[in-house]
Amino acid sequence: MRKPLIAGNWKMNLLYSKVPEYLQTLSREINAKSHLKRDQVDVLLAVPAPFLGIAREYGEKNGILIASQTVHEKADGAFTGELSIPMLKDLGIRWTLIGHSERRQYYNETDAAVALKTKACLDHGINAIVCVGETRAEREGNQTETVLKRQLEAVLQQTGKADNFVIAYEPVWAIGTGLTASDEQAQAAHAFIRTVLRQKLGGAADGMRILYGGSVKSSNIKGLMQQPDVDGALVGGASLDPVEFARIVDCQ
Ligand code: PGA
């Protein structure tokens, strides 16, 4: 039985001074849904680096996990602007996104770099949410499975274990566009991802969570969550409003 994980990704949005109010509102909205069993869903927010400390403080009080949006694979050194795993752990942060398509697209993060970051996280007890997904041209060229396999195998060659490891399937054409994969498209991609994971990790792959991301909203989350291999969501734009995000947390 896989526990759903609903993750928000604020990207480069919101302000430090708004973090306490956001987390209090989110928590209040979630708690107001009395049918929602709080221990049956994990809720996480990936916030900008300057907010990590305050978000952890308020997140901890309210049962909300806090993640970095990226991390460097090296423990320290001359890497201006980067964030290390020891820095995250020192702040009490135990989660990070890795290889979001915006990192791949704008900061040239290659499959090999994503794999090294993932390995560093898993080796040092940080939970990694590794993002994969095809572009529109790749989908239209029937390359979806080839791309997913390439992205996953790069990571699996480095890691070889399922613990602390979550995959987010985010078709690039659905991110921030208002276009969502249909429930069937999401399920097909997730089932394929689980098959690739199983080839390397065996039965442990059945315990791994695979999140869907790309224009998730309260109006489409329920259909997605009914799919057998969709174990949660990675939510960008709709996570910026705590009331809407709480509705998405109420996903089953
Ligand atoms: P979106 O972003 O929900 O705004 O499409 C998803 C993501 O990039 O994680």
Residues 114-137: tens digit of each pLDDT: 999 999 999 999 999 999 999 999
Q: Residue 215, SS3?
A: coil
Q: Check residue 35 and give its pLDDT.
A: 87
Q: Which residues pair with 66 in a beta bridge?
A: 45
- Of the residues 100, 102, 134, 138, only one is catalytic, namely 100
pLDDT of 252 higher than 80: no
Nearest CA to ligand 1 atom 2: 236
234 lines ligand 1 (CB under 6 A): yes
Read off the pLDDT of residues 209-236 as tens digits, 9 standing for 90 and up: 999 999 999 999 999 999 999 999 999 9
The pTM (predicted TM-score) of the whole model is 0.97
The radius of gyration computed from the CA coordinates of the chain, to the nearest angstrom, equals: 17
Cα 114 to middle of ligand 1, angstroms: 19
DSSP conformational letter for 18 = G
The domain limits of the chain are: 5-251
Mean pLDDT of 151-172: 95
% of the chain with per-residue pLDDT over 90: 92
Q: Which atom of ligand 1 is nearest to the CA of 237?
A: 4
Pick from 109, 129, 122: nearest CA to 8: 129
User: Domain 5-251, what architecture?
Assistant: Alpha-Beta Barrel (3.20)
Query: Does 44 have pLDDT greater than 90?
Result: yes
